[in-house]
Amino acid sequence: MTTKKIFDKVIGIIAVLMLVASCTPAATEQPMEEKPPAAEVSPTKVPPAATESEAPVAAEEQDFTTWFEYDQNNEDPAADGRVGNKYLRDTIPQFNEAFEGKWNWVNQPKAWDKMEAELVAAVQAGGDVPDLYQMLSDSVNTFYRNGTVQNLREWAEKQSWYADLDSSALAACKGPDGGLYCIPLAQRPNTVFVWKDRFPDGFPKTPEEFMKKAEELKAEGLYAMTFFASTDKGGNGATRGVFTTFASFGGGYDDGKGNMLLNTPENVKAVEFLREIVAKGYVPEIAFAGGFQEEEAFKDASAGSFPTGLNGYLYMFPFTAPNGTKYEKNSSQDFLDAVAAGDIYISSFLSTEGNKPGCDTKAVGVAIPVGAKHPEAAHDYINWIMTPEQNADFVLGPGAGFPALKSTLKGEQFQTAFWQEAAKAIGNSACRPWYGTMERPTEAKAIIMAVVHKLIKESPNADIAAELTKAQEEYNAGN
Amino acid sequence: MSQEQADIKQGFRTKMFTPFWLILPSLLILFLIQVYPTLYTIVLSFQDRFPTGWEFVGLANFKQLAGSSLFQKGIGHTIIFLIGYVFLTTVFGFITALLLNTEIHYKGVYITLLFIPWVIAQIIAGMVFRLLFLPDYGLLSGIMQNPSIFPPNGISVLTATAPQSWFGNFPFPPSPAMYLLILASTWRALPFVMLLMLAAMQMIPRDIMESASIDGANGWQAIRFVLIPLMLPSMVVAIFNLILTGMNSVGIIFSLTGGGPGTSTSLLSFALYTIGWGQLRFGRAAALSMILALVNWLMIMATLRITRVEERSSQHV
């Protein structure tokens, strides 16, 4: 066969494959048309909030552009962001109706793990930026350093809802200069999800109690705990179970002055604890695989507990309880059902003497990027979503935490077993943002998780204090 | 000046400038997508972002990069990966091409089947291998983690850490995940290399190989002293391509190992992605991309030099 013939054949194969690929519809691709709001979400008609920026009646309707991590056009019930997708699908028409003739909400869906970088790059390059950006308060310091979002403090303080904001939610949105770089809508603290049959007497209160119970579970071929123990996702594990452990031992990641501080006696003890539970086989191997696959061991109850964000329930399903009960609606309802049935409960973490169980908390909020074309539209939106009805809808949907408005928390919707257990667990804990005063959290979490992984998995005999010092010096060299 | 002279001058001008006008659009596009970004990257590599804006920081980005563990470890991992990936792909690509160059039935079917990995996106290839080797839940985990097959405790390919290094800080032997990364990358790149080599083999006149045989060369000698030297230009193209794709590959690492366990599969290209788009340190990422560009260039030059020497020596044979 000649070369030409081979190439001709290959080109032919590629052409056929491309044709086949282009003819096969993507599983998640959905028609662009908007569906009317689903029955279970009551349409909340709220009159447009009167703001100083209200446009003249005769003015033409303008686009109000947002970047949310959810896609209103994606109706795939198995999509990761299905709760948020549905929320937007239901809410966009409500907003457009409330602001008819003034604003037309156009959401541009963004990937949750890329949108931060995309916004920073867009602002710095002078490209198109949205009028409003949905964010987690983890990004505040990054945005502050990169001059990405506007300081809303002066404007926010004049709004009626400002006094009703929970103080810790508000604090999470503040930058190192005291400016307010996001408006919190919900708070997402970390808790521990626990299988009742694995820990029938409650989650252990101390490391000693935990070790004893973990040994009993191991004898049954089970694991006491799974957690995000890999270095995947840019070191995201450092914001989850690892921080919960550090904080519960009285430690943390920073010195309160913008520097990383890892080498403290408390942190050394926390690493010793993590090292021991890994070495003794109380943690499944899947915990180190990344890709959020550590959840698998909790879903099939082979691991008895799982320290993670409260919003974790949105993404985990189905479940098989230790007693064989299957929760397989394949939605976030599975977790809520398991909690209501008493198979799963929500707890605070263990702690050492003199310390409260620790955890990370973050605010889910919105920000106005520098260079936004219609900041007044964003102001109108914020005033609209800060009404108790809209705030509750957001929190019960993608917010998946506690309402940032104190008045919303009193609503009937938040009196179920899930919310009450979560409130109790958080009440017993001392939660704070994991990054503290560090201005480069994205860099910090990668360094922290790399050293923790090294100490608990790669080099279980390495000198903890020396490695922690090395890691903090690496970060602080960039200050 | 006479009319004739003016016409000649005009004709000369047209002849002189027409090619310039014809290539101008390409030059402009090249400038926009190649030259400007390169210049911007150079400028960026000497700057850092502060709340007050961009500031000139001299060589600070390079200095911080040199002190970062991600970069230091990334060098060793990249070397290991490149050696494994380029060697395996070249060798298996050559062997497969050699087999396909014989008179066999259904050759077209084999080529079609062998070509499938090349049309699969890197990120998908990574995901497929990941699903096979996921600890406890992967399709092959029952075999890999079986102590009776892999004593004493079985192997959890994606999470097992590397054994004690033989050479201080140099990461050799690598972690099992690095072997898997090399395997997956080789699997995906093999069709391209195989096809290049097959094309090169088929361009060699059959009588040359027959004369070698008549002259008493055995199979290995014919391959070593006749086939390989004649195929060298195509092999160089394949090796160039493998070095460049290997040096700059991110997608397969992203979906297969995420750079882990720890940082054991975090190559420099992945570190570049992490520093730029994960940590948003654009200045430092620009500095790293400058270094990577330099390394790419050096490796290509080295390959060229080695193969020229080979080419010359083969001409003397």
Q: What is the ipTM of this complex?
A: 0.85
How many CB atoms sit inside 10 A of residue A352's CB? 17
- CA-nearest residue to A467 within chain B is B69
What is the reported pLDDT for A162? 97
Domain of residue B87, CATH code: 1.10.3720.10
Which of the 8 DSSP states describes residue A412? G
Domains of chain A: 62-187+362-427 (3.40.190.10), 189-360+430-476 (3.40.190.10)
DSSP state of A402: E
Q: Which DSSP state fits B281?
A: -
Q: Which backbone phi and psi does B47 adopt, to 5 degrees?
A: -125, 160
The DSSP symbol for A353 reads: T
Q: Hey, are the CB atoms on A146 and B261 less than 8 Å from each other?
A: no
Q: Which residues of A touch B261 (CB under 8 A)?
A: 230-231, 288, 453, 457-458
Strand extents, DSSP E, A248-320:
303-309, 319-320
Would residue B43 count as lying in a domain? Answer: no
**Cα-only R_g, chain B:** 25
Instruction: Give the helix/strand (H/E) hosting B48.
Output: strand B47-50
Q: What does the alpha-carbon distance between residue A196 and residue A201 come to, in Å, rounded to a whole number?
A: 8
pLDDT at B314 (0 to 100): 57
Any idea which residue has 């390919």 for tokens?
A: B157
Q: How many residues appear in chain B?
A: 317
Residue B147 lies in a domain: yes
How many Å apart are CA B250 and CA B262, to the nearest integer?
17
What is the DSSP code string of A446-467? HHHHHHHHIIIII-TTS-HHHH
- Please report whether residue B148 resides in a domain: yes
Q: Which residues in B lie closer than 8 A to residue A121 (C-beta atoms)? A: 282
Return the structure tokens found at B111: 């080529």
DSSP character for A24? S
Q: Give, for A83, the enclosing helix (H) or strand (E).
A: helix A82-98
The helix/strand/coil state of A361 is: strand
Ramachandran bin of B268, using left for φ above 0, alpha for ψ from -120 to 50, beta for the remaining angles: alpha
Mean pLDDT of B296-300: 84
Place of tokens 């029952």: B142
State the Cα torsion B59-B60-B65-B66 to the nearest 10°. Answer: 70
**Is A456 within 8 Å of chain B by CB?**
no
H or E, element range at A190: strand A183-195
Best of A13, A135, A452, A467 to disrupt the B interface (most B CBs within 10 Å) is A13
Nearest to A432 by CA among A364, A348, A361: A361
Amino acid identity of residue B177, one-letter, is A
The answer to whether the CB of A445 falls within 8 A of the CB of A360 is no
Nearest Cβ partner for A286 among B111, B135, B161: B135
Distance of alpha carbon B23 from alpha carbon A208, whole angstroms: 76
B24 within a domain of the structure (yes/no): no
Verify whether the Cβ–Cβ distance A450 to B279 is below 8 Å. no
H-run or E-run covering B53: strand B53-56
For helices B176-203 and B122-133, give the axis angle rounded to 10 degrees: 130
Helices and strands, number each (H, E), in chain A: 18, 12
Q: Residue B141 sits in which domain range?
A: 69-316
Q: Measured in whole angstroms, how far is the alpha carbon of residue A408 from the centre of its chain? A: 21
Q: Does residue B20 sit within a domain?
A: no
Q: Which residues pair with B186 in a beta bridge?
A: none
Q: Flag if B111 and A10 touch (Cβ within 8 Å).
A: yes
Bond preceding residue A318 cis, omega within 30 of 0? yes
The reply to whether B122 falls in a domain is yes
Chain A residue numbers touching B202 (CB-CB < 8 A): 1-3, 6
Those of residues 92-131 in A touching chain B at CB distance below 8 A are 114, 116-117, 120-121, 124
Q: How far is residue B199's CA from residue B192's CA, in Å, rounded to a whole number?
A: 11
CA dihedral B96, B101, B106, B108 (to 10 degrees): 80
CA atoms of A210 and A392, how far apart (whole Å): 36
CB-CB contact of A338 with A327 (8 Å): yes
Please indicate, yes or no, if residue B220 is contained in any of the structural domains.
yes
pLDDT (tens digit per residue) in A11-22: 555 455 544 444
- Angle formed at CA B257 by CA B253 and CA B258, multiple of 5 degrees: 70
For an interface test with A, give the residue of B44, B136, B157 to mutate (most A CBs within 10 A). Answer: B136
Find the angle CA(B267)-CA(B270)-CA(B275) to the nearest 5 degrees.
Answer: 120
Mutate which of A141, A143, A145, A242 to disrupt the B interface (most B C-beta within 10 Å)?
Answer: A145
- Other CB atoms within 10 Å distance of the CB of residue B109: 9
What's the confidence (pLDDT) of residue A56?
46
Substitution target from B140, B159, B193, B237 for chain A, most A beta carbons within 10 A? B159
Distance CA A141, CA A369 (A): 14
Pseudo-torsion of CA A120, A121, A124, A125, nearest 10°? -160
Q: Compute the nearest-CA separation of B274 from chain A (Å).
A: 7
Amino acid B81: pLDDT: 97
* pLDDT tens column, B56-74: 999 999 999 998 888 999 9
Neighbours of B66 (CB within 10 A): 12
Which member of A3, A7, A230 has the closest CB to residue B260?
Answer: A230
In a mutagenesis test of the B interface, which of A135, A228, A286, A456 is the best target, namely the one with the most B β-carbons within 10 Å?
A286
Mean pLDDT over B148-173 rounds to 90
What CA–CA distance (Å, rounded) separates B228 from B209? 11
Task: Enumerate the residues of chain B whose CB falls inside 8 A of the CB of residue A151.
Answer: none
Using 50 as the pLDDT threshold, list the residues of chain A that sit under it.
1, 3, 7, 10, 14, 18-57
Instruction: For residues A358 and A367, give the distance between their C-alpha atoms in angstroms, rounded to a whole number.
Output: 28
- Residue B8 belongs to a domain: no
**Shortest CA distance to B228 belongs to which of B244, B207, B204, B206?**
B204
Q: What pLDDT is recorded for position A34? A: 34
CB proximity list for B198: less than 8 A, separation 6 or greater: A6, B97, B100, B101, B111
**pLDDT given at position A48:** 43
Give how many domains chain B has, as a whole number.
Answer: 1
Residues of A in contact with B53 (CB under 8 A): 147
Which residue intervals of A300-387 are DSSP H helices? 333-340, 375-385
First to last CA, chain B: 63
- Decide which of B304 and B47 is more confident: B47
Q: What is the pLDDT of residue A411?
A: 87
pLDDT for the residue numbered A399: 87
Select from B69, B119, B199 the Cβ nearest to the Cβ of A14: B119
Q: Identify which of B53, B69, B161 has the shortest CB distance to residue A450.
A: B69
Helices marked H in chain B — which ranges? Answer: 3-30, 36-44, 60-67, 69-100, 107-119, 122-133, 141-144, 176-203, 206-214, 219-222, 228-247, 251-256, 268-273, 282-316
The residues near A431 (Cβ < 8 Å, ≥ 6 apart) are A168, A189, A190, A358, A359, A360, A361
Q: Do B137 and A145 touch (CB under 8 A)?
A: no
Q: Which residues from chain A sit within 8 angstroms of residue B130, using beta carbons? A: 291
Q: Rounded to 5 degrees, what are φ and ψ at B266?
A: -85, 95
d(CA B234, CA B202): 12
* Contact yes or no for B73/B267 (Cβ under 8 A): no
Residue length, chain A?
479
pLDDT value of position A119: 97
Q: Return the pLDDT at A4.
A: 54
Q: d(Cα A90, Cα A394) in Å, to the nearest integer?
A: 11
Q: Do A3 and B261 touch (CB under 8 A)?
A: no
CB B202 to CB A1 under 8 A? yes
